[in-house]
Structure 1
Amino acid sequence: MKVLMFGWEYPPHVYGGLATANFGISEGLHAQGDVDITLCLPKPWGDEDRTYARIVPMNCVPIAYRDVNFDYVSSRVGNLMDPHEYYRYRDHIYADFNFMHVNDLGCMEFAGGYPGNLHEEINNYSIIAGVVARSEEFDIIHAHDWLTYPAGIHAKQVSGKPLCIHVHATDYDRSRGHVNPTVYSIEKDGMDHADCIMCVSDLTRNTVINQYHQDPRKVFTVHNAVYPLNDEYNAIPRPDHTNKEKVVTFLGRLTMQKGPEYFVEAANMVLHRTRNIRFCMAGSGDMMDQMIYLAAERGIADRFHFPGFMRGKQVYECLKDSDVYVMPSVSEPFGISPLEAMQCGTPTIISKQSGCAEILNNCIKVDYWDIHALADSIYSICHNDSLFHYLQEEGKREVDQITWEKVGRWIRELYMRTMHWI
């Protein structure tokens, strides 16, 4: 089975949970043994892991004909693409795009990540998808998140192959219901054209059905999973904080959706009962300054740390150095970070309004707005060794069973159903 997959980010260049999920899904599908993935990315850097997918750099796919020699092409595309692939794509250009801003190879440049001209890049990406869809052999299309839905739709129109879209989040979640009409329309258009919609939780599935008015018969829940810790991360020591200050951590985007203010308010309540705890708010976002000011207003700034955005090994060092991990999200489609925390042996508190709450049992669940319950839970884990060790051991045992291979098996079955192979 050949899959043409459209993604926006991929490790080691991680901007959020989308890269982590995209890699995990690729790994899980590869583990099935009969799934070959061609993964399109706007601007790969060349250091991506290509074990589970063949990566197509969309910034090296020509959309305008250029008469260039092989050696020049080779020097320009470097280790991103085999030069022969460039010429194969060039032979499938389907329109005159010379009016676009193309470079000397007839390719469009991408900034990568989430630049100010994001909507322009999404449109450019979808144009290139037409060339790729004409050039590649595949059975089904899989588009990740709203950024790639237009590309998936174009590939479907070009090839006639079925389209699966993967809803990792919706603007309805990100905005607490105050949607950006442009983003909402892109999301809905993708869902309307999709033959199969995969949602990362029942919570997201219900949003897709009720807020985007989709047929429940084509909407399925596909929960995320977590990678096994590699040797490098396993080797990170876990400090013993017995009779020392405890560390309580929030790790995520500092945005309205993630509920950072509830973490600060709960921390304030805990620190009225004990001063022997430090709070770490790791991440970046538009609410960072507001959270720093809030901690200062509550008189707890000396107990708060704001280390900024973390990636890779830094994340696991932070999680292993924590006695409690907290995710108080207001609306979280899934949330992989609690699984990573539990995997590191860190007791975890999550909001009942998160998708991962549907599959996790050995953690504490509270309503995001209930700062009293959140404060009590933090205090209890920090001061009750039996509770700490129970959540530590049982939590790790639980998440070790939540694997991407199982996710890949379910996605493969959904592919088969969508193509009417079963």
Structure 2
Amino acid sequence: MKVLMFGWEFPPHISGGLGTACYGLIKGLNHHNQEVIFVVPKLWGDEEPLADFVNASDVEVDYREKKFIDTWQNLTYLEINSYLVPYLGPEEFEKYTDYTLHHRSDIDETVFSNKYQFSGKYGKNLMEEVARYALVATQVARMKDHDVIHAHDWLAYPAGIAAKEISGKPLVAHIHATQYDRAGKGGDQGPVYEMEKAGLLAADHVVAVSHLTRKIVIEKYGVHPDKVSVLHNAVLDASIIESKIKKKVPEKIVTFLGRITYQKGPEYFVEAAKKVLDRDPNVRFVMAGSGDLLNRMVERVAELGMGTKFHFTGFLKGQDVDDMYAMSDVYVMPSVSEPFGIAPLEAVRHNTPVIISKQSGVGEVLRNAIKIDFWDVDAMADAIFALLHYESISRMFKELGSQELKKLKWEHVAAKLVTVYEKLHQKQP
């Protein structure tokens, strides 16, 4: 089976769990002899050669060709319009914007026949890059022979739809997180929600990372239940990591590691920290990450008088993440709504007991963890205190958690995914 897969990032250049999940899934598919063509906006040259990588920045697209007209016009739901005339300077842009781009015949072809240099980032031009990526997908789908298309999250859904339209091959939409989770129940869903919905409805099959996410996809996006299956995430290596790093402080360390945004529940972690410190001042709390709520969390910690016991590290990656897990005596993930959440599994690998919210998908596979409602800061504080002060409880969760990891292998996830691919392929005329 040849799989044309669209993603937005790939290790070692990642911003979150999406790239890690793509890496694990491709390794699992390799285990089952599946051929993967992985398209990413920008390759950096140091990616592990696990797939036939396609650097979207190297793909030349002639925007005047007829095959791109429908794709370009269908991208209007991205709220992208004439401001995206390709590769025109200010003077050229002013000259041509009074005309409909794809119905002009008096413009030199070379103006539009160009490569687009994707940043590979999540910056201010993200929506533009998502649209360009979809146009590149049209070209790649024509260039590369494939049996099925697999698109990861909203960033790649327009690309998946474009590839399906040009090749006629079935599309699998893999949903790792939803805008409904990110924005909250009362938040503004906006164009990202519309892109997610378009991708999920256009897909021949939807893969959700948890039953929690499957429920949201069905109820909030209107996708038929028969079209949605659950494939939980896994870990790349189930062995326990024996770190040699040593703490440089005598106190116990409790860690929050993730984006400091509404979805991750950082404010509840801060409030629970205060309750723990009121009972035992010999504890240090760490908030590792960045996000729009960072300044507010810093201010709240100051208000609560915890400045000497609460540390903000900023965004961590690579070895720094491993070291943080290893130094921690407890890891807490108090997410308000978490489709899955790989971080607790990584904490368990470092022999660190975890506390997770009942509103997280990872709880469906990690049964031996303390689970609390994200809003219940009293229960969170009690759980932290118990793990710090009762060694038998901490040891029990460490041992049982490590046993559960052995069942969570990417090759098992990939085997189920191959079954999905085969069923879709068999339905093809």
1:191 to 189, 200, 203: 200
- CA-CA distance at 1:258 after TM superposition: 0.2
Q: Which residue is 1:237 aligned to?
A: 244
TM-score by length of 2: 0.87
The verdict on how the C-alpha distance between 1:57 and 1:383 changes in structure 2, with shifts beyond 3 A counting, is same
Q: Which residue is 1:221 aligned to?
A: 230
- Matched residue count: 392
Q: Which residue is 2:336 aligned to?
A: 330
Partners of 1:401 and 1:93 in 2: how far apart? Answer: 50
2:387 counterpart letter in structure 1: I
2:182 to 162, 174, 189: 174
Partners of 1:229 and 1:240 in 2: how far apart? Answer: 24
Partners of 1:400 and 1:293 in 2: how far apart? Answer: 41
Partners of 2:30 and 2:263 in 1: how far apart? Answer: 33
Partners of 2:338 and 2:213 in 1: how far apart? Answer: 9
1:107 to 115, 120, 124: 115
Residue pair 1:281, 1:305 contacting (<8 A) in 2 also: yes
2:244 counterpart letter in structure 1: P
1:36 paired to 2:42 = no
Q: Which residue is 1:404 aligned to?
A: 410
SS of residue in 2 equivalent to 1:334: coil
Q: Which residue is 2:52 aligned to?
A: 54
1:142 counterpart letter in structure 2: H
1:4 paired to 2:4 = yes
- CA-CA distance at 1:238 after TM superposition: 5.5
SS of residue in 2 equivalent to 1:420: helix
My pick for the range that moved more, 36-45 or 93-102, is 93-102
- CA-CA distance at 1:235 after TM superposition: 5.4
The verdict on how the C-alpha distance between 1:238 and 1:403 changes in structure 2, with shifts beyond 3 A counting, is farther
2:296 counterpart letter in structure 1: Q
1:61 counterpart letter in structure 2: V
For residues 272-321 of structure 1, the C-alpha deviation after alignment (integer angstroms, 9 at most, x for no partner) is: 00011100100000000110111110111110111110111111110010
1:273 paired to 2:279 = yes
For residues 211-263 of structure 1, the C-alpha deviation after alignment (integer angstroms, 9 at most, x for no partner) is: 00110000011110111178xx945326489x931000000000000000000
- CA-CA distance at 1:94 after TM superposition: 4.4
TM-score by length of 1: 0.89
SS of residue in 1 equivalent to 2:426: coil
Partners of 1:175 and 1:240 in 2: how far apart? Answer: 37
Q: Which residue is 2:142 aligned to?
A: 134
The verdict on how the C-alpha distance between 1:104 and 1:317 changes in structure 2, with shifts beyond 3 A counting, is farther
Partners of 1:5 and 1:409 in 2: how far apart? Answer: 16
The Cα RMSD (Å) is 2.3
Q: Which residue is 1:13 aligned to?
A: 13
SS of residue in 1 equivalent to 2:61: coil
Q: Which residue is 1:373 aligned to?
A: 379
Partners of 1:47 and 1:238 in 2: how far apart? Answer: 27
- CA-CA distance at 1:195 after TM superposition: 0.2
Partners of 1:93 and 1:58 in 2: how far apart? Answer: 20
Q: Which residue is 1:321 aligned to?
A: 327
2:10 counterpart letter in structure 1: Y
- CA-CA distance at 1:109 after TM superposition: 1.2
- CA-CA distance at 1:400 after TM superposition: 2.6
2:342 counterpart letter in structure 1: I
Q: Percent identity?
A: 47
Q: After superposition, where does 1:82-161 map in structure 2 within 5 Å?
A: 94=67, 100-101=86-87, 106-161=114-169
Q: Which residue is 2:95 aligned to?
A: none
Partners of 1:264 and 1:150 in 2: how far apart? Answer: 38
Residue pair 1:344, 1:396 contacting (<8 A) in 2 also: no
- CA-CA distance at 1:95 after TM superposition: 5.2
Q: Which residue is 1:80 aligned to?
A: none
